[in-house]
Structure 1
Amino acid sequence: MMTTVSVLLPVRNAERFVEEAIASVLTQSLGDFKIIAVLDHSSDASGDILERLASDDARIRVLQCEGEGLVDALNTAAKAATGDLLARLDADDRMRPGRLEEQVDFLEHHPDVVAVGSAAVEIDARSRVTGMMKVPTADAALRARLMRANPFIHSSMMIRRGTFEAAGGYRDDFPLVEDFDLWLRLAARGRLANIASPLTDYRRNDTGLSASRAAEQRLNLQRCILAWKRDAGLLDEAKHTALSARLAALFARAQDLDGQPERMTGDDLALFTELLEHLPSVEARTLARLVSAAASAGKVSAAQSALFAFRARVTSRAAFARRCADAVKALQVR
């Protein structure tokens, strides 16, 4: 029987939170849904918990991952979906009351929107509220943000299944940013939106990305943007290949120079400013590291040139001040 919503719930070693996540779905005001929980090689009691819950509620279906990793788990769930709409939820997050009903209603009243997310309440490992995660809401603002960063909270998303399938589902081309890669492809097929009110509780806990994995995530996001520009005809293949190689070199160099400003060279700044033309979002931490390193090494004029080149490409003074605070301080003390 066709359902309105299929909830995609990948589960890997989530015994501490998965029952709470599922309970938040089962108590939704919209009753027309199925939860597709996919076990991704868990070594804890997650599987036992899921089987127990599924035996008590026919709306829960438990599957084993066809492959390994988040992308395979999500595609396994999507393949088994019968709903017209796919809702995402991570096994350590929670749906807030009324989320499914509000997102379904939004998509019914906005047939041109192919995916909708929302703001979120940030919680810690003990489910205590620690903050609010705000998001842009309008399609134009979301498209502009997509050229710099990820404007969606993955665990808050609802996507039209037909559009998801037409876009090719999740891909493993860009590890750690598989959601961002999907948003870019969905944007080519319809409008995007976020709901300003928080519909998801997003949990931050001690299993977050390590520093090295976070750097890999930032690098892959930029690689994803370059690939999108190539596929959209904004970069030819040769330019894409060259920029991708320079991007990898830039991130490696920024990591290498951290704490060693005496090794800064003019080539580092030249590399950075070239990439800025195509990837304005490279600036955040990489700019602070490179420009601070240049200033520390006595290359103040070169650092200022890089800083002003960046400033010319940023429309928001607040964003400039925030993202370049470390670099500005480094210049001011000399």
Structure 2
Amino acid sequence: MAFIDYYKILEIDKTADQKAIKKAYRRLARKYHPDVNTNDPEAQKKFQEINEANEVLSNEESRKKYDQYGKDWKHADDIERAKQSQQYQQSQQGSSRGFEGFDDDASGYSDFFESMFGGGNQRGGYRRAAQFKGQDFNATLQLNLTDIYESQKQTLTVNGKKIRLTIPSGVEDGQTIRIKGYGGEGAGGGPKGDLLITFNVINNTTFKRIKEDLYSTVSLDLYTAILGGEITVNTFQSKVKLNVKPGTQNGAQVKLKGKGFPVYKKEGSFGNFYITYEVKIPEKISEKEKELFQELAKLNS
């Protein structure tokens, strides 16, 4: 298996933090997305490489294994178990035989696994007794914010197998869920690995989302702000009529209880919707309006 430099694919340094990784992934995903590069096989291939790199580096556990074991990072757990087993056998048998020459050099891992699973020495009974859990698979699922307002069912294809799953409403960007038993096959009769799905949620609305709360800025003309009145605003699902109090100040905020986003895994529970008023001052006024404002200024003084 050839070594793939995930850091180079995402165009980042090895010291990059999670924020930098997410930023790089989003930038490159937009650039090479199949919807933007139709009929471009190279762009589609690049998009797959970007997704794979993000799946590994955005997960702290898999990134640690990748940094330590290189191309054999997927077998990190098996390598550690083999080390422990070797140490145990040596302590029991008082012998240094076993996986001779095995050390932490990543260049030797492939030979180690070839001898372990592909026709190596059968002596000692270790290979017949060892059971290893299959490797975990990682996948990234990109969704729009409007897609997760309600729970939905989707069918994913992972390694040629179709998996039907329910995506709960209210999932968050970067959230990872684990589906047990849908990873790689175990070795020596060991259990299958798991499938880890990380959600990449794109906000395709004009609203700002923080957890289950939504935020929106609404323009308010000067006269309505001063005199009060009724306006219509957009929430996530519908339009709502609001009564504006006379003398409403710029930056004033209104809370619409229960009009926000669904609370994850709490059926029927919603956050709040916060509206901030932005009072607009007229850029041009007529002579008559100017006279009236001057009269108001005199009255106020």
TM-score, normalising length from structure 2? Answer: 0.23
TM-score by length of 1: 0.21
Q: Highest CA radius of gyration, 1 or 2?
A: 2
> Comparing both chains, which one has the higher relative contact order based on Cα–Cα distances under 8 Å and sequence gaps of 6 or more?
1
